[in-house]
Amino acid sequence: MAERVFDILVGPEGDGTRIDAFLSAQDNLPSRSACAKLVEEGKVFINGTPVSSKSEKVVLGDRLMVVLPKGEPETGLLVPNPDIPLDIRFEDQYLIVLSKQAGLVCHPSPGHTDDTLANALVAHCGYGHLGLLQGEDRPGIVHRLDMDTSGLMVAAKSDEVQKVLQDLIRLRVLDRRYVVLVQGYVAPDEGTIETGIARSTRDRLKMTVTDAPGAREAITTFRTLERFEAGRRGEGYSLLECHLYTGRTHQIRIHMRHVGHPVVGDQLYGRKDGRFNLGLKRQFLHSWHIQFEHPVTGEMIERRDSLPPDLLAVLESQEELSMGRTKTGADICPQLAG
């Protein structure tokens, strides 16, 4: 059996965590008990030194190496799909910044085998020219957007670039900002939501806010852009810009629901009464701004992405109910209209 090596940099959320718990919380690594066994087998290293105990704690800045057994890699594991359009906003020999359309899954999953962003990236770059650190079925993927979330994301063309980009996310210096329309009147002009997030024990399709063991730290800051007064339906709406400091599954959607302002159109976490969704069948959530230092050239990469037509139409439908834009909204909202 060949082996697969994972290189992980410990970010602020992992500081002081037991190594078996920290590893089991990472994407593409096995359960906590399996991670403990890897420690016992000498397959886990901290800063080049084998870990002697599963209870050893990691600290901010530690570099972990985990060695996993695997079968021989297949060449071209994914079927290339050239029929999926890629809206590329920046590309060089190292990475791609693109705008993902709503309805597109990032990588293969049950029911989606050859119609994903990963299949499109294979068609565009070739399987052998994409980073594989997230797994052989996730070529190029650095971070994900939910299927029905649109907007900017980054793909990597090598393991080395993929690793650096993932480190930038863990160290919270890859700036990702989202625009979201939520139900209700959000009074503060800005705020921070900080909770633990874990998979729901009642519904495995959902995540939930919890302080239970195994929950991962999730931090979202927001700035209010514009408020809309209540009309014949609903309690009004608020347009926000959210800044992710962590990248948990469904993080913004979970946090908005947690504070009593579910995302408009959210079919999983939103209100069941569709009258509040302004005709949307998907969540009003768009990755509109991304900024980071290029891992190789050092160039500052910054891209903005205006709202797609379905989300822009919803905003335009509420224009007469606008209560005015905040100072931040006066700057950002014109950029969202394209």
Confidence at residue 74, expressed as pLDDT on a 0 to 100 scale: 41
Tally of residues, the chain: 338
First to last CA, the chain: 52
Confidence at residue 1, expressed as pLDDT on a 0 to 100 scale: 41
Q: What's the whole-number average pLDDT of the chain?
A: 90
Task: Select the more confidently predicted residue: 29 or 40.
Answer: 40
**For residue 45, what are the β-bridge partners?**
50, 65
Report whether pLDDT(205) > 60.
Answer: yes
Report whether pLDDT(76) > 60.
Answer: no
**What average pLDDT does range 25-41 have in this prediction?**
80
> pLDDT-based confidence at 78, cuts 50/70/90?
confident
Tens digit of pLDDT for each residue in 88-125?
Answer: 999 999 999 999 999 999 998 888 889 999 999 999 99
> pLDDT-based confidence at 28, cuts 50/70/90?
low
CB under 8 Å to 178, separation ≥6 — which residues? 151, 241, 242, 243, 244, 252, 285, 286, 287, 288
CB under 8 Å to 131, separation ≥6 — which residues? 139, 140, 142, 156, 157, 158, 159, 160, 161, 162, 163
User: Active-site residue numbers?
Assistant: 146
> pLDDT-based confidence at 49, cuts 50/70/90?
very high
Report whether pLDDT(7) > 90.
Answer: no
> pLDDT-based confidence at 75, cuts 50/70/90?
very low
Confidence at residue 233, expressed as pLDDT on a 0 to 100 scale: 63
DSSP states along 280-323: -SS--EEEEEEEEE-TTT--EEEEE-PPPHHHHHHHHHTGGGEE
The candidate with the shortest Cα–Cα distance to 48, out of 34, 32, 31, 67, is 67
Confidence at residue 33, expressed as pLDDT on a 0 to 100 scale: 78
Could you tell me the pTM of the whole model?
Answer: 0.78
CA distance 208 to 229: 29
Tens digit of pLDDT for each residue in 219-275?
Answer: 999 999 999 998 766 689 999 999 998 888 899 999 999 999 999 999 999 887 778
From 59-68, 228-237, 292-301, the region with the lowest mean pLDDT: 228-237
| Residue 196 and residue 212 in contact, taking contact as beta carbons nearer than 8 Å | yes
